[in-house]
A and B are shown apart, each in its own frame.
Chain A
Amino acid sequence: MNPLAPLGEFEQLVLLAVMRLEGEAYAVPIRQEIEGRTSRRVARGALYVTLDRLEEKGYLKSWLADATAQRGGRAKRYYEVKPAGAKALEYSWTALRSMWEGLEPRRREA
């Protein structure tokens, strides 16, 4: 049994995007990453809310970088996946994979 709070689908996408961006993860590229890979629109509001919730669950940590002129003197908030986040992702992946077990032909049909 997983002691961690379960992840929603969008939460998984966000965590994976943060992981892929390796230290360059703030809201703008995270959104681009998800949109580019999944071809689905990501509402800004939903992304910020999800990032904040994941941080509160202890799956992400964030910090403000230095302010830059390109952003009207406003700082970026960078995100990084914490070990608990990676574990929760791993759990979701395992759960999904075990549910698919034996159903591969059906998956290929679809």
Chain B
Amino acid sequence: VKPAKPPRFAVAWLEKTAPRHLAESVIGDLEEEWRVRVVKGRAAAALWYCAQALPLALRLGWFDLTHKQHRDGHHPRKGDSLMETLWNDARYGARMLARTPGFTFVAILTLALGLGANAAIFSVVNALLIKPLPLPESERLVSLNGMDSRGRQQYISYPDFEDLRKQATLFEGFSGVVPQSANLTGRPEPIRVRGGFVSDNFFKVVGVDVAMGRGFQPGDDALGAPLVAVLQHETWQGVFGGDPGILGRTIVVNNSPYTVVGILPRGFQFVYDSIEVWMPYHSWPPFSTDDAYLNRANGLVGPIARLKKGVTLKAAQTELDTIGAPRRAKDAGSPWNRCATPWSRTCGRWFWF
């Protein structure tokens, strides 16, 4: 068995950064303590070593730098202006950093990792929590989720969705959406597209207008209504080559013919996997082929709603809880509308590019 050794790079850091007269004993001391730990497990001991060596290297490296400065007699001279002193300090600092590349590397790496991690976290927090959605009065836009007995978010069933739509009074509009992949055929090469099956008021609720043609109209999502589709601008351009006569043309999705009635504005993307083709809710296979959608145990709908003006989230939640109470009492384990949260705070956000 190869004899265990502390992580080489961590030892090298220490060698580079510690003051020369201390490096030998510092590394020896750390190895002595590491040997006590290594008998219990090499991986844990290696981690321990790195966790000790990094701050130690930084501390000693800093000590070495400042100490050298002290020893070299680098003191501001009387009569130096503030700017001169600052400039001399900066030059001295740069020389010292250049002289100790090990310490400089570790310091820059630490700064870079820290800054990078912070920037990444901020961009997520900004997108999800701070920046409003680029939609009219987006603060009134909420997503509704069922919550099962374990507190996990769930879609809700279609009958539950219909009950909500009929009974809720504090919402201006209630729409449903199901993102689902679909097959686009009727063309030389069949392709898979990301479909969004929505209720006919969806675009109205979220507040987006089509750029060409029309959006969905009342009745478009009724069972048996003629099948119509709205395309993403990018899909129109990329898949259909920007065909100027696209409106009124028939496309085949999941073996059903849809008439293209509208094109969305360029750059509009829905949070779910950037949907490419929008279709009415009732043309989604579970609705058109069997009665699965009538089963209250099937969580099929992700409702998106717009609160009436002046209605607080708390009031809306209370109303949802009231509507859901009999349902929850009957079947405690089933998803039911338990939570209304601003859309941007739960599932992501809308993007305009």
Contact = CB atoms under 8 A, between A and B. Distances in A.
A26 B56 CA distance: 17
Nearest to A71: B28
A98 to B, nearest CB: 33
A75 interface: yes
A27 B25 contact: yes
B5 A72 contact: yes
Interface residues of A, number: 20
Nearest to B62: A45
B26 interface: yes
Contacts of B29: 26-28, 44, 71, 76
B55 interface: yes
A82 B28 CA distance: 24
Given A28-B32, A71-B31, A45 B25 contact: no
B60 interface: yes
Which of B6, B26, B28 is most buried by chain A, counting CB atoms within 10 A of its CB? B28
Contact of A27 (B5, B26, B31, B59): B26
Nearest to A77: B25
B137 interface: no
Interface in B13-44: 18-19, 22, 24-33, 35
B52 interface: yes
Contacts of A76: 25, 28-29
Given A28-B33, A70-B35, A77-B22, A45 B55 contact: yes
A65 to B, nearest CB: 9
B351 interface: no
A48 B60 contact: yes
B240 interface: no
Most chain B CB within 10 A, of A26, A28, A72, is at A72
Interface of B: 5-6, 18-19, 22, 24-33, 35, 52, 55-56, 58-60, 63
21 contacts: A27-B25, A28-B32, A28-B33, A43-B55, A44-B26, A44-B29, A44-B55, A44-B59, A45-B56, A45-B63, A48-B18, A48-B26, A48-B56, A49-B60, A64-B24, A64-B25, A71-B32, A74-B25, A74-B27, A74-B31, A75-B28
Interface of A: 26-28, 43-46, 48-49, 52, 64, 67-68, 70-72, 74-77
